[in-house]
Amino acid sequence: QADRPLITYAYSESASARDNLKYFISQGLHGAADFIFILNGETDAATLIPEKSNIQIISRPNQCFDLGAHGEVLRKDSLWKKYKRFIALNASIRGPFIPYWARSCWSDVFLGRVTDEVKLVGMTANCLPQYHVQSMIWATDAVGLELLLYPPPGSSTPDKYGGATDMVAMEGCYKDMHKAIHGEIGATGLIQKAGYKVDAMMAAFHKSKNYQEDCEKEPREDILWNGQYFGGNVHPYETVFMKANRDIDPTMVGLLTEWHLNGTFEGSWDVCR
């Protein structure tokens, strides 16, 4: 596939997920990557997705949670080995929102932050129960993805959601929500134990040289709740996507959605080459 990225989008039916999917289809699809929509469980969402040569739909039972679904699809027939760059995201976020002045391709924005040193890039990081890049969207390369799909022994750090022998990242099929959360949290430690760094788009991540140290000194609750981002809210222009199933600043998210869908902003088909 040369250098074309593979973008996997995990979906299960809900009102907010459907709105987020519709927005992504309008604003996120483009011709410079291959897309796989993973439809988990009963849904007719396939009728919304355009038929194009670079877009594939995989329907599967609603099990394993999003990380498990991404892992299953990427591992099957060694699909991941055909690509070098990857984005995995889910339908809990609305986006992409690219400012009018930016002329950037949203997938390049994330993949451009993956380097020889940085192997996991997301939109936000959470301090608790331990520092981690949240899994609504992850970008990585083949080195990072191999770690996420096949974590080495001893990759799991115990926390309140899981123990030292539990799965992390995209290792397998999660049976319950707590184990899936443990897997999300553990992916950052997995990448770091392998000698690599993680990165996040939110401005607060870059307010000091080491956000992880900030986390350890002053651990904050999940910033993706209304008013919980140091007293305010993350702006979609900061993180490209917005957590859209938690009622964070619904007026702003609603207006930006309407303006980007109906206004004169350039779409991804125009800017992603």
**What is the tens place of the pLDDT at every residue in 101-151?**
998 999 999 999 999 999 999 999 988 888 999 999 999 999 999 999 999
Number of domains in the chain: 1
* Mean local confidence (pLDDT), 149-155: 96
Of the pLDDT bands very low, low, confident and very high (cuts 50, 70, 90), residue 1 is low
| H or E segment to which residue 158 belongs | none
In a domain, 10, yes or no: yes
Cα–Cα nearest to 187, from 140, 133, 111 = 133
Give the pLDDT score at 234.
86
In a domain, 234, yes or no: yes
In a domain, 118, yes or no: yes
In a domain, 172, yes or no: yes
| DSSP 8-state symbol, 45 | G
Q: How far apart are CA 98 and CA 106, in angstroms?
A: 7
User: Positive or negative, the Cα torsion across 150, 155, 161, 166?
Assistant: positive
In a domain, 1, yes or no: no
Q: Is 61 helix (H, G, I), strand (E, B) or coil?
A: coil
In a domain, 254, yes or no: yes
Parent domain of 175? 6-268
Of the pLDDT bands very low, low, confident and very high (cuts 50, 70, 90), residue 2 is low
In a domain, 273, yes or no: no
Residue 43 sits at the vertex; the CA angle it makes with 41 and 48, to the nearest 5 degrees, is 135
Least trusted range by pLDDT, from 44-48, 86-90, 216-220: 216-220
Average pLDDT of the residues of the chain: 94
- How much of the chain, in percent, has pLDDT values that exceed 90? 79
CATH at residue 86? 3.90.550
Cα–Cα nearest to 134, from 217, 234, 261, 24 = 234
